[in-house]
């Protein structure tokens, strides 16, 4: 029998802890595929965030570290500066990167750190039970915006990709989505490009923001969650290459 599809070696055979319809599994697989395709498994270090993806090392078979909430870009800086030959990537959610870790991501980009950042934006704090994130869209109901997010008082959704794109130290910023197979293929291409830049020694930070479904905290079916990304989330977070 001919094998038409197989698990890529860097993706471990491990029962998932993610909820049904969650996007993390897709994102993990894309990263694992890119690592194997580029042949960088032996020299890659991944950084897991605080959030649902804290256990990313259970799925990704490369050397990995788990760090304090939001500090991944600082940890990545420490790693890359002392090990320029290694490929360093951080995997961060929107609470991690866009709330508590805002200073670290801005300054890592500002210094032009040669790292790759995978930013999973699902518009809520997932692990803690669906509280408002900086990326929560206006009107969105969360555990801490029970009448929907209001601009006055709760603030506007924070567009980190747009913020980073204006910094000279950020060389590649793209926003992608996992809401259908075509977008997943585009996401894979973007992740590959971000890693390739680092492999090629490009002088600066690359980040791929990925709009990712959280059906559990959005109180939707997985299918509905995908539609909501396409119809609602992309209005606030338009897809496409912002830089590079």
Q: Name the site residues for other proteins (rule: CB under 8 A).
A: 41-45, 48, 54-55, 57, 61-68, 71, 74-79, 81-83, 86, 103-104, 106-107, 110-111
**Smallest distance, Å, CB 12 to other proteins?**
9
Q: CB nearer to other proteins: give 91 or 237.
A: 91
Cβ burial, residue 163 (10 Å; 0-12/13-18/19+):
middle
Q: CB nearer to other proteins: give 107 or 243.
A: 107
- The whole-angstrom separation of Cα 109 and Cα 165 is 9
Element (H, E) at 125: strand 124-125
Q: CB nearer to other proteins: give 102 or 234.
A: 102
Q: CB nearer to other proteins: give 140 or 216.
A: 216
Among 63, 72, 59, 28, CA closest to 43: 63
HSE of 188, CA atoms in CB hemisphere, 13 A? 17
Q: At what angle do helices 24-38 and 181-199 cross, to 10 degrees?
A: 40
**Smallest distance, Å, CB 179 to other proteins?**
30
**Smallest distance, Å, CB 85 to other proteins?**
9
**Smallest distance, Å, CB 140 to other proteins?**
29
């Amino acid at each position: 029998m001919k094998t038409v599809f197989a698990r890529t070696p860097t993706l471990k055979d491990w029962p998932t802890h993610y909820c049904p319809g969650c996007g993390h599994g897709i994102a993990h697989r894309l990263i694992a595929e890119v690592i194997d395709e580029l042949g960088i498994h032996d020299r890659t270090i991944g950084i897991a965030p605080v959030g649902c993806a804290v256990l990313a090392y259970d799925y990704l078979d490369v050397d990995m570290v788990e760090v304090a909430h939001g500090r991944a870009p600082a940890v990545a800086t420490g790693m890359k500066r002392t090990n320029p030959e290694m490929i360093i990537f951080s995997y961060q959610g929107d609470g991690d990167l866009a709330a508590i870790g805002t200073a670290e991501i801005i300054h890592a980009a500002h210094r032009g750190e040669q790292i790759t950042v995978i930013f999973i934006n699902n518009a809520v704090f997932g692990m803690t039970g669906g509280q408002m994130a900086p990326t929560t869209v206006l009107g969105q109901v969360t555990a801490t915006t029970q009448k929907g997010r209001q601009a006055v008082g709760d603030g506007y959704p924070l567009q980190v990709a747009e913020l980073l794109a204006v910094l000279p130290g950020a060389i590649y910023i793209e926003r992608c989505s996992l809401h259908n197979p075509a977008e997943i293929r585009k996401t894979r291409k973007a992740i590959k490009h971000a890693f390739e830049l680092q492999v090629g020694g490009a002088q600066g930070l690359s980040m791929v923001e990925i709009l990712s479904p959280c059906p559990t905290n959005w109180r939707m079916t997985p299918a509905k969650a995908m539609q909501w990304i396409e119809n609602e989330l992309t209005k606030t977070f338009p897809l496409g290459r912002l830089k590079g």
